[in-house]
Amino acid sequence: MVTTEYVLFPIKAGFDPTDANGQAAPIVLDVNQTMTAVPGMQGMYSGLQLENPSKWQLMCIWDKAQSHYDFQASAPYGPFVERLFKIVDPDRKVTGLHIDFHGDILETFAAPVTETAFFFFEGGPPSDYYDGAEKCLRTWAEKADGLLSWAIGTTYEDVEEEGIKGKAVILSLGWKTKDHHVEFNKTDLCKEHGKALVSSSKKLIAWHVQFSKYQG
């Protein structure tokens, strides 16, 4: 099973990592070229949050988490991070996590629009959480209009949100359009089966990204 590295970067005003001709373009190219040459790297996807375009989401697929840890411990890592952080807002938090997803994570990143949802738990999700969660997602995949794929997993790291601290669950859903998700949220199918996802969590936040894959 591959490991996904999730990073959320707050971007300085005036920089757009998705603009191939913008000020950030040389740095983004450097990130892509450097990361994809690291042993164990399987692929990279990135995009801006539709709801907050000052946040740049990077999803890196590693053969295993240790490959990323090895890169972090290598000599080139420090200068690489220094170059990258030229476009990062130093006054806002950078979030980096690792997740082993169940489901088809590559299909969710390849979708026209990808929803990312964080479920926060005190300590972590209950031991039987995935029994209900995956049953819900399989039902949605069969019946929800516009839902193309799903993947779900627990973070390796503890995260903290408004005093809630523990391992979070990240859900990734691939949609035909953002509007399909908005309309789905109004349905009984969403509300009834979705209880399995939210009933034991303390907080939920979600957003949408149109991911692009670095092609090399």
Over residues 140-177, the pLDDT tens digits come to 999 999 999 999 999 999 999 999 999 999 999 999 99
Whether 107 is covered by a domain: the verdict is no
Indicate whether 86 and 50 sit together in one domain.
Answer: yes
Q: Where are the alpha helices (DSSP H) in 37-144?
A: 65-72, 77-84, 105-110, 129-143
pLDDT at 12 over 70: yes
Whether 175 is covered by a domain: the verdict is yes
**What's the whole-number mean pLDDT along residues 120-128?**
96
pLDDT score, position 53 = 97
Among residues 47, 71, 99, which one ends one of the domains?
A: 99
pLDDT at 17 over 70: yes
Whether 108 is covered by a domain: the verdict is no
Indicate whether 206 and 120 sit together in one domain.
Answer: yes
pLDDT above 90 covers what percent of the chain? 97
- CATH number of 154's domain: 3.30.70.100
pLDDT at 216 over 90: no
Indicate whether 128 and 196 sit together in one domain.
Answer: yes
pLDDT at 108 over 90: yes
Query: CA–CA separation, 79 vs 173, rounded Å?
Result: 34
Indicate whether 128 and 87 sit together in one domain.
Answer: no
Indicate whether 86 and 140 sit together in one domain.
Answer: no
**What's the whole-number mean pLDDT along residues 91-115?**
97
pLDDT score, position 34 = 94
pLDDT above 70 covers what percent of the chain? 99
Q: Where are the alpha helices (DSSP H) in 85-205?
A: 105-110, 129-143, 178-184, 188-193, 195-198
Whether 161 is covered by a domain: the verdict is yes
Indicate whether 121 and 50 sit together in one domain.
Answer: no
pLDDT per residue over 45-87, tens digit each? 999 999 999 999 999 999 999 999 999 999 999 999 999 999 9
Structural domains of the chain, count = 2
Domain with 64, as residue range(s), is 3-99
Indicate whether 50 and 19 sit together in one domain.
Answer: yes
Among residues 44, 77, 99, which one ends one of the domains?
A: 99
DSSP assignment of 203-216 = EEEEEEE--EE---
Task: Judge contact between 201 and 119, C-beta under 8 A.
Answer: yes
pLDDT at 18 over 70: yes
Indicate whether 7 and 90 sit together in one domain.
Answer: yes
Hey, what amino acid is at 64?
K
Whether 106 is covered by a domain: the verdict is no
Among residues 74, 99, 124, which one ends one of the domains?
A: 99
pLDDT score, position 103 = 96
pLDDT score, position 1 = 83
